[in-house]
Copies of this chain bind each other. A is one copy, B any other.
Amino acid sequence: MGDKPQTAGLVLIGNELLTGKIRDANGPYLIAGLRRHGIDLAEVHIVSDDIEAIAEAVNLVRGRCDHCFTSGGIGPTHDDVTMEGVAAAFGVELEERGDLVEVVQAVFGTGESAEAWRKMAIVPTGTRLEFIGRHWPVYVVGNVYVLPGIPEIFRAQFDFVISSIEASPVESNVAYMKVGEGELTRPLTELAESYAGRVDFGSYPVLGHPDYSVKVTLDSRDPEALSEATQRLVDSFPAEALFELAERVEAGEA
């Protein structure tokens, strides 16, 4: 298994996500990206544009996970309060940073309407800036990456951040079973116990599919244990109980 896998948590910020005005696209992007890269996502929180709610969620995640990502709430308008929330989480003040004022002025100029954008130069004390070429920098506070909600920018910054994190990808097999969860429960429980910590088993009933009724997934960072556990699962049932076995399924497909 090697080293302990890296873990991450996500805090999605914005009233618009909770009212359904905007359907979040950053969560699915991050989930697929972490999976592909081999970082385990432990938890996701969706909170409103509320300083205390943001601070609480950030503190839960940064205390438990190696990496905390936030999405949203860093623009210039009144409902953008993520920086206040992150500062509150760390118990530090906000400060206007000269190096960020330069970035803001380079992008938005110095006219009257550009004045509002200066808010984006105000960050928690101790914020590190990670520059992606000539793009806007990524704000990093401790182990918290403060990313914007706009999907195009979120994606560029997220891809940049995870490319610098070393991790080891998970491999997956999927068994499409014709038997119901009732028949699966006992053998699956025994296998899950016997491979605890080495192979993760998941069981997902699918209603109304003509060919199978449960999708059983096996995840592991140990290829040998994965093969062996898969064989043992298949051997637990008569051949006609298995509709299909998909091996070494791509991250995001299983």
Contacts and interface: CB of A to CB of B under 8 A. Distances in A.
Interface of A: 15-23, 28, 31-32, 35, 40-48, 53, 75-79, 108, 113-117, 119, 150, 152, 170, 179-186, 188-189, 192-193, 200-205, 207-208, 217, 219, 251-252, 254
A23 B119 CA distance: 35
Contacts of A42: 18, 48
Contacts of A116: 181-186
Contact of A205 (B43, B75, B185): B75
Contacts of A152: 207-208
Contacts of A44: 17-18, 44-46
A22 B204 CA distance: 9
A181 B75 contact: yes
23 contacts: A15-B202, A17-B31, A18-B31, A18-B40, A18-B44, A20-B31, A42-B48, A43-B48, A44-B44, A76-B181, A77-B184, A77-B188, A78-B201, A78-B203, A108-B182, A114-B182, A115-B182, A116-B181, A116-B183, A116-B185, A116-B186, A117-B182, A150-B207
